[in-house]
Amino acid sequence: MSGTPAYDHARLQEAAKRHLWLHFTRHSTFEDADVPTIVRGVGQYVYDQHGKRYLDGLSGLFVSQIGHGRAEVAEAAARQAAELAYYPLWSYAHPRAVELAERLAGYAPGDLNRVFFTTSGSEAVESAWKMAKQYFKLTGEPARYKVLSRYIAYHGTTHGALAITGLPDIKPPFEPLPAGGVRVPNTNFYRAPSFVADDITAFGTWAADEIERAILREGPETVAAVFVEPVQNSGGCFPPPPGYFGRVREICDRYGVLLVSDEVICAFGRLGYMFGSDRYGYQPDVITFAKGVTSGYAPLGGMVVSDRLMEPYLRDETSFLHGVTFAGHPVSCAVALANLDVFEKEDLLAHVRANEGAFRATLEKLNDLPIVGDIRGDGYFYGIEMVKDKVTRETFSDDESERLLRGFLSHALYHAGLICRADDRGDPVIQLSPPLTCTQEHFDEMEQILRSVLTEAWQRI
Ligand SMILES: Cc1ncc(COP(=O)(O)O)c(C=O)c1O
């Protein structure tokens, strides 16, 4: 309990239930239960208001790369707030935004040299789509506005980003959405169509070629961009099959379509590299980022764009007709610089690359459980798909999934001291994305908690 600030628990709960609106959350579940409340973080762990400790197996929400409680990052924020708390990037620069833009351009692959800041991942995705549409209007191809993205991929919640998001279930309340979102297959090899189910390379070729078929179907002259994550998060971590991104790049080049690598999760060490595209060796035209750029010590997002895409925006009276007040906030930029200093000082990318094999091997011990169908991912980013039948890969019905994930697993894992995500937006999965500082002791703790909770879940089915 020591170090945990003292709160009036009853008072905090009452106020939370009365006034706070949680995101993507069924508030009805709190009629007879407490709102889980996290009050403090240290390293790989967070603490609730009772002082109970949890291993932060999801880095908050794929955010806390360097872990919690880093005084040097908090101090960088305080220093910046005292020096210059706010100035907009509308017509003005400030030193931290300049320094961070230069640093990110240095890390980014190839000629990705221009950084447009936002405050979040959704805004980054939104900005990339708008930038692409205006780019094509400036360069004489005004009919290009459509965007291809993959089934059940999550790219954010604002209207434009939601039109790109491939999760059908979160859209109906907000339709009609902006026109132009087109779906293509994702790279879930565990659920590959039967004609490519035995050959991952053939599966990757097929999935990439489906992008070409979609471009031809829509009319290449109408397609602006393809949005893909290096490892697709939603659905439970789908890494790219060998050769997939090379082929996607070729297809984009053949039809003049922009390749946007949505690295809101996969950048900043999640896969052992600054950018996920580096890991898989492809060159995007745009990278969108957020989350890990600050490890969550302040909000920030953005896109890094190639010199080629910036070029028409440098001419004459042209400007990108887009901006948000808090984008590239000085405190957030100072925090991002301090965060990246920690990456360099502790060589976190090398740490992830050196330890990812041990993480995978520890999680793969769970393969002996009957409920575990597939364990997939790369770096410090894994999904565990749960099945009813390991041999046939039969999944759970909606009702079983509801009972298993919402009724049992989420609470049981939390009570056992592990924060991770039990997700049924595709087939039911548990997702892990721990701080990049984790070592074998944390992998073992995750495995032990998952083993006991998944064993109980199987008995309850
Ligand atoms: C790949 C991807 N793109 C975009 C977003 C949206 O980011 P934000 O929640 O910061 O708006 C997310 C959020 O998880 C994401 O994973």
> Using one digit for the tens of pLDDT, what is the confidence trace for 157-210?
999 999 999 999 999 999 999 999 999 999 999 999 999 999 999 999 999 999
Atom of ligand 1 nearest to the CA of 62: 14
Count of CB atoms situated within 10 Å of the CB of 382: 26
pLDDT at 324: 97
Backbone dihedral angles phi then psi of residue 203, each to the nearest 5 degrees: -60, -45
Atom of ligand 1 nearest to the CA of 234: 16
What is the tens place of the pLDDT at every residue in 403-437? 888 789 989 999 999 999 998 888 899 999 999 99
Pocket test for ligand 1, best of 58, 117, 149, 155 (most atoms within 8 A of CB): 155
Q: Which residues contact 311 (CB under 8 A, 6 or more apart)?
A: none
Question: Does residue 264 surpass a pLDDT of 90?
Answer: yes
C-alpha–C-alpha distance, residues 388 and 396, integer Å: 6
C-alpha–C-alpha distance, residues 211 and 182, integer Å: 10
pLDDT level of residue 1 (50, 70, 90 thresholds): very low
Residue 369 Cα to ligand 1 middle (Å): 32
What is the tens place of the pLDDT at every residue in 18-57? 999 999 999 999 999 999 999 999 999 999 999 999 999 9
Atom of ligand 1 nearest to the CA of 161: 4
Instruction: Give 269-286 as a DSSP string.
Output: TTTSSSSHHHHHT---SE
What percentage of the chain exceeds 70 in pLDDT? Answer: 100
Pocket test for ligand 1, best of 264, 266, 291 (most atoms within 8 A of CB): 264
Question: Does residue 213 surpass a pLDDT of 80?
Answer: yes
pLDDT at 367: 98
Residue 90 Cα to ligand 1 middle (Å): 24
Atom of ligand 1 nearest to the CA of 229: 1
C-alpha–C-alpha distance, residues 219 and 214, integer Å: 8
Atom of ligand 1 nearest to the CA of 265: 16
pLDDT at 460: 87
pLDDT at 154: 98
Closest residue (by CA) to atom 7 of ligand 1? 121
Nearest to 374 by CA among 394, 402, 356, 347: 394
Question: Does residue 282 surpass a pLDDT of 90?
Answer: yes
Residue 271 Cα to ligand 1 middle (Å): 16
Average pLDDT score, the chain = 96
pLDDT level of residue 450 (50, 70, 90 thresholds): very high
In contact, 114 and 105? CB cutoff 8 Å: yes
Question: Does residue 2 surpass a pLDDT of 60?
Answer: no
Please give the DSSP secondary-structure letter assigned to residue 294: T
C-alpha–C-alpha distance, residues 252 and 259, integer Å: 6
C-alpha–C-alpha distance, residues 48 and 59, integer Å: 15
C-alpha–C-alpha distance, residues 126 and 246, integer Å: 25
Nearest to 116 by CA among 303, 274, 308: 303
Query: In this predicted structure, which of 6-15, 103-112, 379-388 has the lowest mean pLDDT?
Result: 6-15
| Confidence (pTM) | 0.98
With a Cβ cut-off of 6 Å, ligand 1 is lined by 120-122, 125, 154-156, 229, 233, 262, 264-265, 290, 301
Residue 146 Cα to ligand 1 middle (Å): 20
What is the tens place of the pLDDT at every residue in 334-376? 999 999 999 999 999 999 999 999 999 999 999 999 999 999 9
176 upstream amide cis, omega within 30 of 0:
yes
Count of CB atoms situated within 10 Å of the CB of 193: 10
pLDDT at 427: 87
C-alpha–C-alpha distance, residues 276 and 407, integer Å: 34
